Amino acid sequence: MSAQTQSLHPFLARMLGEWTYVFQATAAQGEPPVRFSGTETVRHLGGVWIAAEGRGENPDGSVSTTLMTLGYDAARQRVAGAYIGSMLAHQWLYDGQVSADGTAVALDSEGPSYTVEGATARYVDTIRFVSDDHRVMTSRFQDENGEWQDFMRIDYHRRD
């Protein structure tokens, strides 16, 4: 089957549109969580991929821009994609699976460790629909002891 004849997976199709978001992440020990907000536009690329372009103001007043691409490989029944952000020097490559109930996708990745200088760690970003107009992305990493640590949450709300 050629890419042109595949249809966008229903989970990914739900992401299309204009969104606002609130980002919250854990900070250094004893510090309040980092919070900022922004907007995101999610469009399709040929009905096979989506591109989610975000823009937000960081707590220090600087602006960050992000780009996430996701597509569905029907032969493998897996989601593939990538994420880059102007605040990071690492490209995150995703391999994931949509949940059986179709409300979430867990995206596995590997990247720089937050706890061990010069090391890498496993990550899972999970995107879950609360409703058609509200989705949540949570992120966690596996620390050097093999324990999973939650560190980030983004709430997206569809713009009117």
- Condensed to tens digits (0 to 9), the pLDDT of residues 25-64 reads 987 777 888 899 999 999 999 888 999 999 999 888 899 9
Q: How many domains does the chain have?
A: 1
Per-residue pLDDT at 16: 96
User: CATH number, domain at 77?
Assistant: 2.40.128.20
- What single string gives the DSSP state of each residue in 32-96? PPEEEEEEEEEEEETTTEEEEEEEEE-TTS-EEEEEEEEEEETTTTEEEEEEEETT-S-PEEEEE
CA distance 105 to 72: 11
For the entire predicted model, the pTM comes to 0.91
Mean pLDDT, range 122-140, rounded to an integer = 98
Q: Which residues contact 136 (CB under 8 A, 6 or more apart)?
A: 127, 128, 130, 153, 154, 155, 156
Name the nearest CA neighbour of 125 among 151, 156, 158: 151
What is the reported pLDDT for 24?
94
The tens digit of pLDDT for each residue in 91-122 reads: 999 999 999 999 999 999 999 987 888 999 99
Its domain, for residue 44, covers 3-158
Measured distance CA(61)–CA(53) in Å, rounded:
19
Tokens of 66: 């992000």
Q: How confident is the model at residue 1 (pLDDT cuts 50, 70, 90)?
A: very low
Average pLDDT, the chain: 91
Nearest to 126 by CA among 113, 138, 112: 138
